[in-house]
Structure 1
Amino acid sequence: MAKESSFDIVSSIDMQEVDNAFQQAKKEIAQRYDLKDSGAEITLDKAKKTILVAAPAEFVARQVIDVLSSKLVKRGIDLGAVKWGDPQAATGQSVRQTGTIIEGIDKDTAGKINKDIKAEKFKAKVQIEGDKLRVSSASRDTLQEVIAFVKSKDYGQPLQYVNYR
């Protein structure tokens, strides 16, 4: 009997890299001539995994988010991992915008991935284990096909394929 091979589908973010990108963005905002004295601020809450941008205008908030996004990309963080909310009016003319860092696969997304894999009729088993999915099959080629199939779909968050054995 052939031994089963498997891999895990996860969605994980290196919070240290997010923090490094945040620190770089904060430094650039303090030094850039068009943002230096604008009153724009950026804060990171590692525990809640949120980023708060406070700016005097929506245009400035978008510029700050662009600076942060460029730093995240340079650090290897997928921009799909940060979901930005709508700008909210704060005191005076200022606005606040909150970005949430998505980590782990929620039940709805896991169910959708599971359903899509089963609909393609791959000879593979899918198990939902908390915030990850384990895909196993007797054939490694089938697992490669499942990875290619899931990569071709968009589930609204970055996915990684780990523990391939």
Structure 2
Amino acid sequence: MTSSTLTNIRNFVLLAIVQVLIFSHIHLFGYATAYIYLIFLLKLPRHTSTNALMLWGFLFGLAVDIFGDTPGMNTAAATAVGFARNTFLATFTHKGLPDDFVPGVKSIKWGGYLVYALMCILLFYIILFLLELFTISNFVPLLISIASSTLLTMLFVVVAECFSFRK
């Protein structure tokens, strides 16, 4: 195995443990929940295939679903993010970047990175909460949950990016 594969596996295990033991149990004001494991999908290199992204998303979602007693909702939402991530990345980056760059502030600047991350996270929460509620009859609470969870997760993405940007 290459060192990048071992690093990915290590990061996967650490983020999954932190997500399951800490972040899955935090529900601010009954609406906002941060799923920080999305940072892993956001930070994989550009050349990562859609199939590999979907597999990583599936595995993360499955781990959270198993330990969080949510039957397949995280798996479906994270797999969808894996499917759409490269499209979002191509939309919000310029064409002159090398094929092996890692998405982040260093490579695509704050504006592009924030819009890219926001689109991935928003897609995740729309799918997750629609699957959870399985109805749009409670439209306002649905929108509040999607917006607040997206903003909370974006806050953690920005904090993580600030720490990695300083390295």
Q: Of the two, which has the highest radius of gyration?
A: 1
With the length of structure 2 as denominator, give the TM-score of the two structures.
0.30
- Higher percent of residues as helix: 2
